[in-house]
Structure 1
Amino acid sequence: MNAFPSRSEETEREEMARLLPGPAERDLPPGRHLRHKEILMQQIRHDQSSTPASAPVGPGRRGRRLMRPAIMIPAAAMAAAGILVTSLSLGGHGSSTTTAGQSVSVQVGSAGDATTLLDRIATVASQRTTAPIRDDQFVYVLSKGAGSIPGGQRSDDGPAELGPVHERRIWLSQDPTPQGANSGMIREGGTTFGMAAPSPAGGGGAGGVPAGIDRPTYQWLASLPTDPDALLKKLYADTRGNSSGGQDQAVFDKIGELLREAVMPPQTASALYKAVAKIPGVIEVPDAVDAAGRHGVGIARENTSLSQRTEWIFDKTSLSYLGQRSYLTKDTNQGKAGTLTSISAVLARAVVDKAGQEGATAGG
């Protein structure tokens, strides 16, 4: 005879479920953990560089670093991270609902063709005219793009997912003094950020980052060597080896930052492209598409540790810079080969007299 009162099968199942041990927690695969760490560090660097327009600028935070290829952190990412921002109505300048294609074709590239193409691009760059920029002016860049949504913001922790393509407007101060960087501004994802650039690690001082590799003003770019070998040597010396792909990849990524959000003298631009041809592993990709849907030819390098290729995209006729994109070259925990992880397009570049002002397209 049963000594316990009778219960329904459903109640018994619930009781057994409570008594059984819970499922074991899964550790993230090493590749996934590395990717999440990189995304978090990119987000932290962006958050550290962006403060609300109304917030005071104070010392103690690392200087603003330009974004890595096309990684545009939306306001939602900062909200999830607990970052306080001031949201302003920008009259249609917010996030769009359009998402770039999630996958591309992984094409075979050529190192020899890259050298030839970069020489052509360098020649065209040297023939452009750019008026010198005053220290009290700003470089304005309008772009659009999308980056991978961090796993914590997705409905699951599955493969990489590209966020919505959205516009980004940035005003970069040309004041070479450390405090000059603080007068810049960013509008992105429906939010306006004042830019703060406190002292870099170990730099000391009362805050701010002077003109240099991490804040490339026009005058600093004009001071660089125009001999490709000397220029490349300086870039290697000035670029911290903080890329998981090694120093060559770190320099390639840094040059990509210079191309994305700077206006540079023609001779500097020409020398820069010739220097890129000397970096091991650089290839030409026959066809590449930017975030605006424009087809061009790509100059690329693969970060083999992440199985991820980054491409700089140039118009096939004018050889003007269009944008960048990054994608997986092999099947990984983040997705299948060809999965896009970021994409961007530069729509306008100008020199203006104050932050918030938009102007005509400048050379570059």
Structure 2
Amino acid sequence: MNAAGSGPVRTGREEAEREELARLLPAPAERDVPSEPYLHHKDRLMQHIDDDQNPAPAAAPARPARRRLLRPALLMPAAGLALAGALAVTLTGGGESGNGSAQPRETAAVLLDRIAGVAEKTDVKPVREDQLVYVKSLMAGAELKEDGSSKLDPLHEREIWKSQISKPVIKIGLIHEDGDYFPLNEGGPGTPAGVHRPTYLWLSSLPTDPDALLQELYRMTEPEEGHEKAQAVFDLIGDLLSENVMPPENAAAIYKAAAKLPGVKRVDDAVDAAGRHGVGITRTDKRASTATEWVFDRDSLAFLGERRYRTEAIGAGKKGDILEKFAVLERGIVDAYRERPGATTK
């Protein structure tokens, strides 16, 4: 037997009272999410999802691409030392939106897309096979020791003339450094134009679709032991940008392809070997504990140079140690070795 005032009758009365009170209360207001923070967090989430769903393309084994030609004294020894993601989005306090919230910073993908747009509109004169690409640079490389420590050589200027002949050649170029000229000669039957000797004509043969180009770059690249495949591709792109002249549509494609690499980030203030400040694009090789950073002019978005440095201490090597830095001072097309753009041969 139920006690007085309990049971189904009382329960029904309580529910009716709650419904009546609910009708009297005002409807809850919709949550107003500020647009900028919402877009920022949505952008971060979508980038993580995209990174997870778009792994690095599979690639066939290939010969490792050669790094920029350094003087023999600056080449890294073959020691057993490991040397050399989502696009980063952070909030900055540099500006305010209409609702007073911080605005999301430009991502690496957006910056690279702007750089690609400028590159595509750049007027570049095609280079004939009987001509040479000339690049004057300022550079320094580190000599690495077995204990992991490194010593950065003093900065010095270098001039290089690069052959544009497509067929295999023995003399592929000439270097002027420390007051002397050094011919760049290949043994055997010579080296044809290709990833190990990029010419204007060979560069023009690369795909201009960023996805197809990225697949091709992965196919042509083989990382050194202890290095990431994506980092090897990133470094290869840096080499192609540094001491070559590239057709505008191919330059645009290569920047767009770089934006698709995992772990590429934007740097607010990057400095090249000449001390010029600009914006940067960087990628860290977590396996090798090193990072490569490209530097672009803040206004023109022209490629200025790059640098490599340690991201962690390795043996006697310290975090932040510079392994290589490079700055393009002049680039042009000439008709003969030892000729400078706008000048006669010497």
**TM-score for the superposition, normalised by structure 1:** 0.65
Q: 1:224 offset after TM fit, Å?
A: 1.1
Please, which of 192, 200, 218 is the counterpart of residue 210 of structure 1?
192
Q: Distance in 1 between matches of 2:64 and 2:268?
A: 34
CA distance 1:336–1:277, shift in 2 (3 Å): same
Number of aligned positions between the proteins? 256
Are 2:201 and 1:219 aligned? Answer: yes
- The whole-number CA distance in structure 2 between the counterparts of 1:339 and 1:178 is 39
Compare 160-169 and 330-339 and name the one that shifted more: 330-339
Counterpart in the other structure of 1:188: 177
Residue 212 of structure 1 aligns to a residue whose secondary structure is coil
Please name the residue that 1:308 is paired with.
Answer: 290
Does the 8 Å contact 1:144/1:346 carry over to 2?
Answer: yes
SS in 1 for 2:152: coil
Instruction: Report the Cα offset of residue 296 of structure 1.
Output: 1.0
Give the Cα separation in 2 of the matches to 1:149 and 1:296. Answer: 27
User: Whole-Å Cα distance in 1 between the matches of residues 172 and 288 of structure 2?
Assistant: 36
Q: Deviations over 1:160-199 (max 9, x none)?
A: 22110011111000000111x515111123332111123x
Give the alignment of 1:262-281 within 5 angstroms: 262-281=244-263
Q: Which residue of 2 aligns with 1:138?
A: 132
Distance 2:312 2:175 in 1: 35
Secondary structure of 1:250's match?
Answer: helix
Task: Provide the C-alpha distance between the structure 2 equivalents of 1:294 and 1:243, rounded to a whole number of angstroms.
Answer: 33
Alignment correspondent of 1:328: 310
Alignment correspondent of 1:40: none
Tell me the CA shift for residue 65 of structure 1.
6.2
| Alpha-carbon spacing, 1:65–1:360, altered in 2? closer, same or farther (3 Å) | farther
Q: Secondary structure at the match of 1:149?
A: strand
Q: Secondary structure at the match of 1:164?
A: coil
Aligned ranges for residues 1-364 of structure 1 at < 5 Å?
66-68=66-68, 72-73=70-71, 76=73, 110=88, 113-151=107-145, 159-179=149-169, 182-198=171-187, 206-242=188-224, 244-360=226-342
Instruction: Map Cα deviations across residues 309-349 of structure 1 (whole Å, 9 max, x no partner).
Output: 11011011110000001111123224332221111100000
Taking the aligned partners of 2:221 and 2:312, their CA distance within structure 1 comes to: 28
Specify the code of the residue in structure 1 equivalent to 2:213.
L
- Per the alignment, do residues 218 and 301 of structure 1 end up closer, same or farther by CA in structure 2, a change over 3 Å counting? same
Structure in which a larger fraction of residues adopt strand: 2
* Contact map agreement 2:74 2:142 (CA 8 A) in 1: no
Whole-angstrom distance in 2 between the partners of 1:150 and 1:330: 15
Contact 1:301 1:309 in 2 (8 A): yes
Q: Note closer, same or farther for the CA distance 1:321–1:268 as it changes in structure 2 (3 Å cut).
A: same
What is the rounded CA distance, in whole Å, between the counterparts of 1:360 and 1:72 in structure 2? 26
**CA distance in structure 1 between the partners assigned to 2:64 and 2:108 by the alignment:** 31
Equivalents in 2 of 1:161, 1:176: separation in Å? 38
Classify 1:207/1:119 alpha carbon distance in 2 versus 1 (closer, same or farther; 3 Å).
Answer: same
Look up the equivalent residue of 1:300 and give its one-letter code.
Answer: T
Q: Distance in 2 between matches of 1:209 and 1:286?
A: 40
Q: Cα RMSD (Å) of the superposition?
A: 2.6
Contact 1:183 1:355 in 2 (8 A): no
CA contact (8 A) 1:225 1:268 kept: yes
Partner of 1:35: none
With the length of structure 2 as denominator, give the TM-score of the two structures: 0.69
Partners of 2:225 and 2:176 in 1: CA distance:
27
Letter in 1 for 2:138: K
Offset at 1:240? Answer: 2.5
Identity %: 48
One-letter amino acid of the structure 1 residue matched with residue 122 of structure 2: R
Contact 1:300-1:312 within 8 A present in 2 as well: yes
Query: What SS is found at the alignment partner of 2:133?
Result: strand
Q: Does the residue aligned with 1:72 lie in a helix, a strand or coil? A: coil
1-structure distance, mates of 2:317, 2:148: 8
* Residue ranges of structure 1 left out of the alignment (5+ in a row): 1-62, 81-108, 199-205
Rg larger for = 2
Give the residue type in structure 2 aligned to 1:266.
P
